[in-house]
Amino acid sequence: MSGPAVDEAPYVTIVLPCYNEQDHVIDEVERITRAMDSSGYTYELVAVDDCSTDETLARLEEAAPQYPHLRVRAFHRNGGAGTVRRIGTQEARGEIVVWTDADMTYPNDRIPELVQILEKDPAIDQVVGARTSEEGSHKYLRVPAKWVIRKVAEKLAGQKIPDLNSGLRAFRRTVAKPYLRLLPPGFSCVTTITLSFLSNQHDIYYLPIDYAKRAGKSKFSFVSDAYRYILQVLRMIMYFNPLKVLMPPALWLVGIGFVKGVAWDMVKHPFYFPINTLMIFLSGLLIGAVALLADLIVRSRGE
């Protein structure tokens, strides 16, 4: 790790994952530094090189002496954006932690706005930069897919979520600390931290932001990452509120089995219930029992 030591703990820690961003990473560091210097907040900028295969790390280390608040951390193997953000947050010294990207897509000059919202309103625990447009790769596939996943998440979380997986966000480190162990290594870490806060009644403020076309090559894989997103949504709701996921299908199956047995089977074959009717009814009962058991386990964790 490089960068001068600072005795006084900063108020803000900005975690910047860097993977093959050699052509623009210093521009991003400069933009963030300029905005934070003008804001008056004490801060540290932790740039984590995720085992880049280009000159990203070399350029960060070369530029570090010019930026007193920059700390450079290097991974010896590629851990993924979620791993970078988790470790960066665990090592953060600031009371407020900011996550963003180094690909020039997010308006990082607005980071002080996110911090200011948290500073002024103690009831808010996280501020998310809610994108007003989609400029990523596979745009015509990503937009409907993200909409569907977001609607599923809203239904399960019971709250409106303008942007489920924005990479620009600021939150209170002490509030996020219990949920860091839940973060997956990939892009769905941002979905995880959103749902963790919402599922535990932590208020999130959504700040509308512009979203620019990324610099360099996207690391997003539509099929695999979209699958992981929807899987992570279901996993997080199951972790915090399994009844939301399991009880609706359980009740539907019990209801369908009951109606089929009473309104159809009893009329067609009095006092005879076909095996499919029994299977539907019993499946509903079993899923309902698992839902109640899972809910009991959740409530007994004491988190």
The CATH number given to whatever domain includes residue 142 is: 3.90.550.10
279 in a structural domain: yes
99 shares its domain with 235: yes
pLDDT at 66 over 90: yes
Among 240, 261, 281, which residue terminates a domain? 240
Higher pLDDT, 165 or 169: 169
Does residue 3 lie within any of the structural domains? Answer: no
Note whether 117 and 253 are same-domain residues.
no
Residue predicted with more confidence, 174 or 269: 174
Residues 213 and 268 placed together within one structural domain of the fold? no
pLDDT in tens, 215-247: 756 555 555 666 777 787 788 888 888 898 899
Pair (202, 272) in one structural domain: no
For residue 7, being part of any structural domain is answered with no
230 lies in some domain:
yes
263 and 179 housed in the same domain: no
Question: Same structural domain for residues 214 and 260?
Answer: no
Distance (Å, rounded) from C-alpha 83 to C-alpha 180? 10
For residue 2, being part of any structural domain is answered with: no
Residue 5 inside a domain? The answer is no
Q: Which residue has the higher pLDDT, 146 or 220?
A: 146
165/274 same-domain check: no
Q: Which residues of 203-231 are buried (b: 16+ CB within 10 A; e: fewer)?
A: ebbbbebebeebebeebeeeeebbebbbe
Do 172 and 89 touch, CB atoms closer than 8 A? no
Query: Phi first, then psi: what are they for 14, rounded to 5°?
Result: -105, 120
pLDDT band, residue 268 (cuts 50/70/90): confident
Same domain flag for 248 and 218: no
Cα pseudo-dihedral 102, 204, 193, 150, rounded to 10: -90
Look at the chain and report how many structural domains it folds into: 2
Write the secondary structure of the chain as one string of H (helix), E (strand) and C (coil): CECCCCCCCCCEEEEEEECCCCCCHHHHHHHHHHHHHHHCCCEEEEEEECCCCCCHHHHHHHHHHHCCCEEEEECCCCCCHHHHHHHHHHCCCCCEEEECCCCCCCCHHHHHHHHHHHHHCCCEEEEEEEECCCCCCCHHHHHHHHHHHHHHHHHHHCCCCCCCCCCCEEEEHHHHHHHHHHCCCCCCHHHHHHHHHHHCCCEEEEEEECCCCCCCCCCCCHHHHHHHHHHHHHHHHHHHCHHHHHHHHHHHHHHHHHHHHHHHHHHHCCCCCCHHHHHHHHHHHHHHHHHHHHHHHHHHCCC
Task: Report which residue type is found at 248.
Answer: P
Structural domain contains residue 1: no
- 44 has which bridge partners? 13
In a domain, 85, yes or no: yes
pLDDT at 63 over 90: yes
Q: Among 44-53, 102-111, 210-219, 233-242, which stretch is predicted with the lowest mean pLDDT? A: 210-219
Boundary (domain end) residue, out of 215, 240, 265: 240
Which residue range(s) make up the domain with 30?
Answer: 12-240
Domain boundary among 240, 259, 276: 240
- Whether residues 266 and 147 share a domain: the answer is no
- Output the six-digit token pair for 263: 């309104």
pTM recorded for the entire structure? 0.81
Are 123 and 170 in a shared domain? yes
Q: Return the amino acid letter for 113.
A: E
Could you tell me if 60 and 109 lie in one domain? yes
Place of tokens 């959740």: 298
- In terms of domains, do 197 and 270 share one? no
